[in-house]
């Protein structure tokens, strides 16, 4: 993986986008799918301007994409603050996490760069991927909605909810073994994307 095209593929994949087309759907104003496909195939050289754009969108360093310098995709162990869902909901109107929001810190390994918080799952509405009591790791820096991915949403009521985003029609979808849980119609005007859920930790 010594060429810019290879590093671009790594950056895109580590940001959670399976293909250039999916990344373009998430950033329609910034990415042209055909151009990115050409960049990843090596059919078109990646300019400094394009590298800077991709770096900003995917959370890496432009120099790394172009030259392999300053590898921002490297992961590290970090102390992640564990919050309650109530605190997550309140952060809709609060720009920073304060000590009052934090229950404790947990050490987590191999996390890429991001703005990470942890939440403990309540209830069984998402038990197909995260049973009650599981810890979910949420990247607050990733608030671009992608169909079929999982997010924490802070609602206008001040509540927070862990759900799967479905685009058409727009709705918050449970992912549960309990058939009593139903999808909720969603309006982007009423939603605040707290962050994307990227990892689940639970005992078996």
Indicate whether 15 pLDDT > 90: no
Range with the lowest mean pLDDT among 84-88, 101-105, 143-147? 84-88
Q: Are 172 and 184 in contact (CB under 8 A)?
A: yes
Q: Which of the pair, 80 or 78, is modelled with greater confidence?
A: 80
Higher per-residue confidence, 73 vs 149: 149
For the whole model, what pTM was predicted? 0.66
pLDDT in tens, 37-47: 999 999 999 99
pLDDT at 183 over 90: yes
* Pair 138, 132: CB distance under 8 Å: no
Q: Report yes or no: 121 and 134 within 8 Å, Cβ to Cβ.
A: yes
The predicted pLDDT at position 62 comes to 84
Whole-number pLDDT of residue 20: 94
Report the distance separating Cα 196 and Cα 144, nearest Å: 8
- Predicted pLDDT of residue 68: 85
Q: How high is the pLDDT of residue 1?
A: 52
Give me the pLDDT at residue 63, please.
Answer: 84
Alpha carbons 169 and 167: distance in angstroms, whole number: 5
Domains assigned to the chain: 4-67 (1.10.260.40), 76-201 (2.10.109.10)
């Amino acid at each position: 993986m010594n060429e810019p095209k290879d590093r671009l593929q790594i950056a895109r994949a580590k940001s959670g986008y399976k293909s250039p087309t999916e990344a373009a759907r998430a950033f329609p104003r910034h990415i042209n799918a055909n151009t990115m496909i050409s960049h990843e195939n090596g059919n078109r050289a990646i300019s400094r301007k394009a590298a800077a754009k991709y770096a900003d969108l995917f959370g890496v360093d432009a120099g790394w994409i172009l030259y392999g310098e300053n590898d921002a995709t490297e992961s590290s162990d970090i102390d992640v603050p564990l919050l309650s869902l109530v605190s997550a909901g309140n952060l809709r109107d609060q720009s920073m996490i304060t000590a009052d929001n934090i229950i404790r810190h947990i050490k987590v390994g191999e996390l890429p760069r991001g703005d990470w918080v942890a939440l403990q799952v309540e209830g069984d509405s998402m038990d197909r991927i995260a049973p009650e009591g599981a810890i979910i790791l949420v990247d607050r820096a990733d608030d671009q909605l992608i169909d079929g991915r999982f997010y924490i949403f802070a609602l206008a009521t001040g509540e927070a909810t862990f759900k799967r985003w479905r685009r058409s029609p727009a709705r918050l979808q449970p992912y549960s073994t309990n058939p009593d849980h139903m999808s909720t119609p969603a309006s982007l005007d009423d939603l605040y994307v707290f962050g994307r859920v990227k990892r689940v930790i639970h005992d078996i």
